[in-house]
Amino acid sequence: MKTLPILFLLLMAGSGWAETPQSMLKNFEANAGPASVQRGEQFFNSRHGREWSCASCHTSRPDKVTEHIVTGKPIQPLAPAANAARFTDLAKSEKWFKRNCKDVASRECSTQEKADILAWLMSIK
């Protein structure tokens, strides 16, 4: 019977075990320090020397389906409480942080900024 848990772990390791928003936040905080919901909300809603903010496409309460400001394509809710698929794949999350931060801030977001943004998004119920 002791082989069952080992077999389960081996199967799960090969299946691309999903992240959770909580585990992703812990990882960011381990590398940057404690997250701030307030800093995350401020970053998300502010322009950083560019024309857009994160809220330009995701709105200031990103718990609803929105649309891209240029393409008009639908964007599923960003807040994990409204979309359980958000922040469950680290590589995908990093890809979108990289792309969107370059659009909004002309640079990649720091790990601290990612932690703050994620903490704020997780606070939206």
**Residues 83 and 66: beta-carbon distance below 8 Å:** no
For position 50, what pLDDT does the model report? 85
- Residue for token pair 């969107």: 100
pLDDT in tens, 8-66: 444 444 445 569 999 999 999 999 999 999 999 999 999 998 889 999 999 988 999 99
pLDDT grade for 83, boundaries at 50, 70 and 90:
very high
Q: pTM (2 decimals)?
A: 0.84
DSSP assignment of the chain: -THHHHHHHHHHHTTT----HHHHHHHHHHHH----HHHHHHHHHS--SSS--THHHH-SS-SS-EE-TTT--EE---STTT-TTTT--HHHHHHHHHHHHHHHHSSPPPHHHHHHHHHHHHH--
- Count the neighbouring beta carbons within 10 Å of the beta carbon of residue 54: 25
Structural domains of the chain sorted by starting position, each given as residue range(s) with its CATH number in brackets: 19-123 (1.10.760.10)
- Quick check: 82 pLDDT over 60? yes
For position 86, what pLDDT does the model report? 96
pLDDT grade for 1, boundaries at 50, 70 and 90:
very low
3 vs 90, higher pLDDT: 90
